[in-house]
């Protein structure tokens, strides 16, 4: 992302929240579309001078203020990635306690938005509908101005735009494991969905991991969870996330100079 668009994204979101405006409120005040404002806050809004002036006026500031780099004081957002059985929920809750941040499961946000259980979302409306809700829910979380630990759905990485959004606005962590590890964890949890839905579920899991592994490797941090306890993984994630955020902030500082 261009540094000036990153600065605009953060400053516009900060000011909107300080003014206690929703995106719809800001759209009404500025005359800009809701979709365009979502793109601005996601760092994709290649904004014209006229639109920048309209946005600044609606936020009661100047155009210069919106694009001037500032010291990053935003609270951290950490997103855990991996297949079902990676430990995203268990490790995420422990990590959130260590970091003193709220823990959010993205799938629960999708269920609340749809008013349906996750299985019903897929069976009644299909994957495309689920992916749309997933992106909308993620945008709401990432533009909330709050720090948090997010457990992302295992297939989020297959949606290029949604994954790119997460990579831009969160420190992403792949909880890496072997296919057999995933399998054993799911079985221990009493989750028989894979077995019931696929006659060769174990082989299907191996194939799914092979397909998604190149996508998971794009995460900022990779933690190999093999042979580690939940506490050990959470500690490693916390340390790696702190180091990764330090490197990212240093790089952003150089880009803004």
pLDDT of 43: 83
As a dihedral over the C-alpha atoms of residue 192, residue 117, residue 234, residue 14, rounded to 10 degrees, the angle is 160
Topology agreement, domain 3-67 and domain 77-253: no
User: Residue 256 — pLDDT band, cuts 50, 70, 90?
Assistant: very low
- Of all helices (H) and strands (E), which one includes residue 224? strand 221-224
Q: What does the alpha-carbon distance between residue 193 and residue 176 come to, in Å, rounded to a whole number?
A: 21
In tens, the pLDDT along 228-245 reads 888 999 999 999 888 876
Segment 180-190 shows an average pLDDT of: 68
In tens, the pLDDT along 1-53 reads 577 888 888 888 888 888 888 999 999 999 999 989 988 888 886 788 888 89
- Of all helices (H) and strands (E), which one includes residue 139? helix 127-142
Domain residue limits, the chain: 3-67, 77-253
Cα-based distances in Å from 185 to 46, 147, 204: 45, 29, 16
Q: What does the alpha-carbon distance between residue 185 and residue 181 come to, in Å, rounded to a whole number?
A: 6
Q: What does the alpha-carbon distance between residue 83 and residue 209 come to, in Å, rounded to a whole number?
A: 7
Architecture of domain 3-67: Orthogonal Bundle (1.10)
Q: What does the alpha-carbon distance between residue 5 and residue 20 come to, in Å, rounded to a whole number?
A: 22
Two tokens at 17? 């929240």
pLDDT of 250: 58
DSSP codes, 156-209: GGGSHHHHHHHHHHSEEEEEE--HHHHHHHHHHTT--HHHHH-TTHHHHHHHHH
Question: 79 near 171, Cβ under 8 Å?
Answer: yes
In tens, the pLDDT along 140-173 reads 998 888 899 999 999 999 999 999 999 988 999 9
Two tokens at 130? 């689920």
Q: Which fold has domain 77-253?
A: Rossmann fold (3.40.50)
Q: What does the alpha-carbon distance between residue 51 and residue 56 come to, in Å, rounded to a whole number?
A: 9
């Amino acid at each position: 992302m261009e540094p000036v668009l990153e600065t605009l994204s953060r400053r516009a979101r900060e000011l909107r929240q300080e003014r206690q405006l929703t995106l719809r409120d800001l759209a009404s005040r500025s005359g800009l579309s809701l979709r365009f404002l979502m793109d601005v806050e996601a760092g994709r809004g290649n904004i014209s001078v006229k639109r920048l002036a309209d946005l600044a006026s609606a936020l009661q500031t100047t155009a210069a203020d919106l694009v001037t780099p500032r010291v990053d004081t935003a609270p951290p957002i950490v997103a855990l990635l991996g297949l079902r059985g990676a430990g995203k929920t268990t490790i995420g809750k422990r990590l959130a306690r260590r970091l003193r941040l709220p823990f959010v499961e993205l799938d629960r946000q999708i269920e609340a938005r749809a008013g349906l259980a996750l299985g019903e979302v897929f069976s009644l409306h299909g994957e495309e509908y689920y992916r749309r809700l997933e992106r909308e829910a993620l945008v709401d979380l990432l533009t909330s101005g709050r720090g948090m630990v997010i457990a992302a759905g295992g297939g989020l990485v297959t949606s290029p735009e949604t994954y790119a959004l997460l990579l831009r606005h969160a420190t992403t962590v792949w909880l890496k494991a072997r296919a057999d590890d995933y399998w054993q964890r799911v079985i221990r949890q009493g989750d028989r969905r894979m077995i019931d839905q696929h006659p060769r579920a174990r082989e299907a899991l191996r194939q799914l991991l092979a397909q998604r592994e190149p996508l998971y490797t794009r995460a900022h941090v990779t933690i190999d969870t093999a042979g580690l306890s939940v506490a050990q993984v959470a500690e490693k994630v916390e340390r790696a996330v702190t180091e990764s955020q330090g490197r990212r902030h240093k790089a952003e500082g150089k880009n803004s100079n």
